[in-house]
Chain A
Amino acid sequence: MKKINFNSRSLFALPYLIYMTIFVVVPLFMLLFYAFFGDGTFSFTEVNAFFTDSSQWATIARSLRIALTASLVCILIAYPLAYTIAKIKSKTFQYMMLMALIAPMWINGLLRTIALKDLATLMHIPTGETLLTLGLIIDYLPFMLMPIYLVITGIPKSYLEVSADLGASPFITFMKVTLPLSMSGIISGFLMVFTPAVSTYYMSEYLGDQSTFMIGEQLNTMFTKDNKSGAAVIALVLLVLVGLSVFLANQISRIGNNKKGGLA
């Protein structure tokens, strides 16, 4: 029997590669195409129309502010949460807690958003930026939690023991070992929350008010009104925003000098 060479084994990746090429790579080029060739000929019309409106910049800034606040608060909640869960002795209990935190996603996101809104109405909490931020935090917390949890549980116990043996207090061990090593988890979590938050449209529509008009809502309006090239320009702007945040996150992660795990 002839030994099969490595290349034939890599063929196993073929369905995946084909799928990803068609459904991930090609649509990106379609976005570019529609943004510049929407009317059949190459033009900057849509791009110009977008960048010359000053209110547009206010909308981008607003989207960034809301998404940043939500993701930062998410870190503040998710980190201690993940840390506490990771320190629970029984593995089963850990999984149960994680399960309990992720399981609400079995109930569709839109349904939970409306439920939150109805509850807020009942409690006389007005819709607006506060409620929207709260909604974003509640909805995306699992996305922040999971990467941080995975990274914390991935830190070898020996590191902590070494630190303790060398005379560090638990606090110093946390500050100098655990936290720096979980940086990559924080950063992936940040990206996983920031991106959907900055581009949300149904959450800002239902939980927000007039003053929380976000860029995702704008894309959605253009899409539903069949303005594909206008929507493509906004999609590209969102892509650039996300790209920038990935770049920045990678820079920070490099400073943190930690290459373990993480999605970024």
Chain B
Amino acid sequence: MGIVFVLAVIAVLYVPILFLAVNSFQEGFAYYTQLFTTSEYMTAVGNTLLIAAIASLIATIIASMAATGILYLGKRTRAITMAVNQLPVINADIVTSFGLVLLFVSVGMTNLGLLKLLLAHVLIALPFCLLTILPKMRQLDANLIDAALDLGASPFKAFTSVIVPQLVPAMIQAFLLGFTLSLDDFVITQYNNSGVPTISTVVYGAISRRDIPNAFKALTTIIFVVILLVLIVMNLNAARIRKGIKISRKITAAVLAVVILLATGGIIPVIVSHLTPRNLVLKIYNWEDYIAMGQALGDGQYAPDLLAKFEASYRETLKAQGVKDADKFHIEYHTFTDNEELYSKINTQHSDYDLIFPSEYMVEKMASEGLIQPITESRATDGLTLDSNILNRTKDFTTVKDQNGNIQADQVWAIPYMVGTVGIMYDVDVIQSMYDNGETTFEIADFENLLDQYGFGVLFGEGGTDAYSGRITMKKSARDSIGIAMIYGAQRANNATHEVNQAEYLNQTDAISGEYDNSMLSDILNMDGNYNIDLARQILLEQIDTMHPIYENDNGKKAFMNPDNDDFAYGLFWSCDAGLAMNEVDDEKTDEYDGNLRYYAPNGTNLWTDNFAIPTYAQNLDAAYAFINFMLSPENAADNIDYVGSQMVAAGTEIEDLKDDYGVTDPSDPDYDLFDADINYANAIFPTEDNITYSAIMHNFDKSKEKAVNNLMLEIQNKAAELTENEGGTINWFLVGLGIFAGVAFTWWLIHCLTHRRPRKLPDPFTDAQKKA
């Protein structure tokens, strides 16, 4: 009976793993090939194993030495040492990690890469290693050590030849425990990582946009098989010992050999990549899943692999220049999930990436702190024509000026890579079904009229949209939610009747200058001039009460993409996410766009850009320039836009063809309808000219405004959580009941123990016998 329970628990623990394992065979062994052929993944696996192995080895050695030493410490010192040892064991991971970050930052030990992760991972393993070894150490006969010392052995010799051999089983246990904890860790790695990709950081990057990388599903299956093998070997081994056949050592050796082989298989590419001369490596740090690099698209289709294409063409360039080992040129491609992560890699850790992709405000911040160097525009865009409309809109933050404020010709801080808007994505199926169920009075066309009339106002209940209360999403990203709240707040403040008309808003005149221009929108969005953050606070707090929005990072996009999920009617989205989601729900086989998602960016919105920039610490400028040029060529850009689902500044016939394919239509065309499925889809990927003109860029904030913005977002999230919680719907009373039951049972048992008479101390026959002896 008992064993059934044990097996059941084991089964539950393995369900998520088996789920991944089953998924890993979706396309035969394609994911497995992907795992072993993608250098980013192999490097991550290699790093993870390397760190786990070395860190737990170091921890085991330090701990076994310490176990010897601690027994000879004074009683008081020993007690303190043991208490300190407990700290990392019971302290929260996140607190330990944060403390480590503060330590590394304050002593300036920032760009240590792998070494820093090693030091941090020793901390994960060390206390547990000591706890494993110390009890075994206590059982050792102290006389043996004394005897060795009396016979003239040095303390070191006594340690290695008397203590270590007896501790070996405990040391192996300690090593395995440390290794396991290190493999499992995410928090400490994430906090102390300076550009060293590991399994957890790569997964973290990937899920922010789509899903677990398919290759890691394959990896999970492989680890699962290894676990099975270990269990089988344990069993066989035991059976053989029972039969008296002593070949256990051979089997253990064989298993160890396999494990070591697997580990080195991952580690060797890492070591090799550290040895390649820097002019043969281009280190790129981009947003996760933000470039076409041969991703599987399902149905056996793959995105074009632009990285491989560049590698091949640049090798030829190098060969033509007569560079030695030109064939070894390769790209090291790492990813990040937000601008702050990028910033800390470059600022505090001085990672030597050659090309990075900061957003507009981050370009400003990094330029002002000397973290990026000017790009010579003519060199980067040699032989290319670019979309001047977009380029002009980005001049505010790309222009390079000298100390006297003179504009430097042909020098830019950054060149736009992807461009898009912030707008509203809505699910026509949900909106229709809510109308059918009588929850709202808006059919699709009615809702689209509301969008047209109120713009972002629909997120705040304008025009009766509070009927969608609880079915809308907002962004956890502070800059976006607050920026949009500012835009809506200003619209409302500028119109006494509360009935905000989008067209009227665009004709609003600025109180000071007397005419409408983007500078007013810019003031609003950046909380400058007449506008400040209190407006956004008021709007967002009201919104929580009336609209019950769900704040999300990427869960929202996934919910919208999932056809079975009808939670949300509409929400605040970046056009790149909308483009990706719409692409996902579209049936590729038909020419028409037939997905259930639409995207609408009101005029007067936030224009975002992610840009090519070259860090000051870059080491391979030639390759960085060549790569920018390569990506902006119309042919490659068209492939890339098609995969990423977002507009680039590239221009040319291939781009025009792509626009035609998507159905981009000129607004002067008699058939032009913003809400026509095809045109709508095209506009999500290629922002309309109006969108680009009637938009403002969000700039970098000074320290106090930045802090105010982030604190407001936390305040909003706290409030929103409290409200949702108080509605009671989400509290699981079953679990709370179970918890209370457990608590009561526990207390009852305590009382039981206290009130029932039992011997204060139970006799221990063994210690008593020893005492007598």
Contact = CB atoms under 8 A, between A and B. Distances in A.
B732 A133 contact: yes
B538 interface: no
B721 A101 contact: no
Contact of A238 (B15, B94, B131, B710): B94
A111 B5 contact: no
**Top 7 closest pairs, chain A to chain B, by CB:** A13-B69, A27-B99, A12-B69, A16-B66, A199-B92, A55-B718, A92-B238
A176 B155 contact: no
A112 B106 contact: no
B5 A8 contact: no
8 contacts: A12-B65, A16-B130, A53-B715, A106-B183, A107-B184, A111-B199, A211-B730, A263-B131
A182 B532 CA distance: 60
B128 to A, nearest CB: 10
B313 to A, nearest CB: 35
Nearest to A224: B340
Contact of A100 (B20, B91, B207, B227): B227
Contact of B16 (A105, A115, A176, A231): A115
B743 A212 contact: no
Nearest to A26: B103
Interface stretch (B229-237, B489-497, B575-583): B229-237
A192 interface: yes
Contacts of B736: 65, 69
B551 interface: yes
A191 interface: yes
Contact of A15 (B66, B100, B187, B743): B66
B141 interface: no
A39 B5 CA distance: 55
B183 A69 contact: no
B750 interface: yes
Interface string B529-556: 0000000000000000000001111010
Contact of B231 (A68, A99, A127, A228): A99
B54 to A, nearest CB: 15
Nearest to B19: A119
B66 A12 contact: yes
Contact of A84 (B6, B155, B234, B558): B6
Contacts of B735: 69, 73, 129-130, 133
Given A13-B69, A263-B86, A84 B95 contact: no
A9 B146 CA distance: 11
Interface in A89-122: 90, 92-93, 95-97, 99-112, 114-116, 118-119, 121-122
A256 interface: yes
B707 A227 contact: yes
Contacts of A102: 180
B553 A159 contact: no
Contacts of A210: 550-552, 720-721, 724
B110 to A, nearest CB: 14
A164 interface: no
Contacts of B10: 97, 100-101
Nearest to B478: A225
A158 interface: yes
Contacts of A7: 72
B62 A19 contact: yes
A248 interface: no
Nearest to B221: A107
Contacts of B70: 10, 13, 16
A106 B184 contact: yes
Contacts of A255: 750, 753-754
B234 A96 contact: yes
A75 B65 contact: no
A16 B126 contact: yes
Contacts of B231: 96, 99-100, 103
A210 B567 CA distance: 13
A202 B208 CA distance: 12
Contacts, number: 366
A44 to B, nearest CB: 16
A239 B181 CA distance: 21
A12 B66 CA distance: 6
A65 B718 CA distance: 16
A9 B155 contact: yes
Contacts of B126: 16, 19-20
A117 to B, nearest CB: 9
Interface in A108-160: 108-112, 114-116, 118-119, 121-122, 124, 127-130, 133, 138, 141, 156, 158-159
Contact of A196 (B93, B711, B715): B93
B186 A141 contact: no
A30 B106 contact: yes
B88 A24 contact: yes
Interface string A15-51: 1110110111111101100100000000000000100
Contacts of B95: 31, 199, 219, 235, 238-239, 242
B183 A115 contact: no
Given A58-B718, A58-B725, A192-B90, A92 B764 contact: no
A4 B95 CA distance: 41
A173 interface: no
B150 interface: yes
A202 B234 CA distance: 34
Given A69-B736, A230-B711, 19 more contacts: A15-B65, A16-B126, A23-B103, A27-B99, A27-B100, A62-B725, A65-B739, A69-B739, A72-B746, A84-B6, A103-B227, A106-B226, A109-B184, A128-B730, A128-B732, A211-B731, A212-B730, A218-B718, A219-B94
Nearest to B154: A4
Contacts of A221: 710, 713-714
B760 interface: yes
A59 B721 contact: yes
Contacts of B81: 13, 17, 20
A7 B762 CA distance: 36
A25 B711 contact: no
Contacts of A59: 718, 721-722
Contacts of A205: 553
Contacts of A170: none
A23 B62 CA distance: 14
Contacts of B764: 156
* Listed residue (B14, B199, B207, B562) with the most chain A CB atoms within 10 angstroms of its CB: B207
Contacts of A223: 98, 101, 191
A78 B9 CA distance: 9
Nearest to A235: B95
A205 B186 CA distance: 14
A104 B19 CA distance: 13
B119 interface: yes
Contact of B6 (A3, A85, A118, A211): A85
A52 to B, nearest CB: 11
Nearest to B730: A211
A56 B714 CA distance: 10
Contacts of A209: 550, 555, 724, 730
A77 B187 CA distance: 26
A198 B713 CA distance: 22
B24 to A, nearest CB: 11
B512 interface: no
A111 B340 contact: no
A79 to B, nearest CB: 10
A68 B746 CA distance: 13
A55 B9 contact: no
B235 A92 contact: yes
A138 B122 CA distance: 25
Nearest to B344: A226
Contacts of A69: 735-736, 738-739
Interface in B196-236: 199-200, 203-204, 207, 211-212, 216, 220, 223-224, 226-227, 230-231, 234-235
B142 to A, nearest CB: 10
A216 interface: yes
Contacts of B749: 179
A39 B292 CA distance: 44
